[in-house]
Amino acid sequence: MTQKTISYLVSDMHCSSCPKLITMDLLELDGVTDVKADLDSHLVTINYNSDLVQTDLIAQSIKDSGYTPKDVR
Ligand SMILES: [Cu+2]
């Protein structure tokens, strides 16, 4: 099991429901173990098991929730 962390900048989170929705949807993905979505910084940080899920699926989940994830380096 390989635990990894990735962060996305999600500028279009605009109210307190947005981080909740993104978090709920991400946690439904197999392999996503923890999500921190912060409205003020617009950062969404995801802990995941890279044996079970890849970042393209994680980014797609945020898009499917209706938002735009940008890579943070
Ligand atoms: Cu909102």
pLDDT digits (tens, 9 = 90+) for 19-56: 999 999 999 999 999 999 999 999 999 999 999 999 99
Range of the domain at 40: 3-71
> How close is the Cα of 8 to the center of ligand 1, in Å?
17
Domain CATH code at residue 65:
3.30.70.100
- Region class of 68: left (phi > 0), else alpha (psi between -120 and 50), else beta: beta
Q: Give the Å distance between the CA of 36 and the centre of ligand 1.
A: 15
Centre of ligand 1 to C-alpha 28, Å, is 19
pLDDT band at 1 (very low <50, low <70, confident <90, very high): confident
Distance between CA atoms of 6 and 33, rounded to whole angstroms? 12
CA of 4 to the centre of ligand 1 (A): 27
Question: What total of structural domains would you count in the chain?
Answer: 1
Region 4-16: what's the mean pLDDT?
Answer: 97
pLDDT surpassing 90 at residue 73 = no
Structure tokens at 70: 């940008």
pTM score, whole prediction: 0.95
Structure tokens at 14: 């605009």
Burial status of residue 4 (CB atoms within 10 A of its CB: 0-12, 13-18, 19 or more): middle
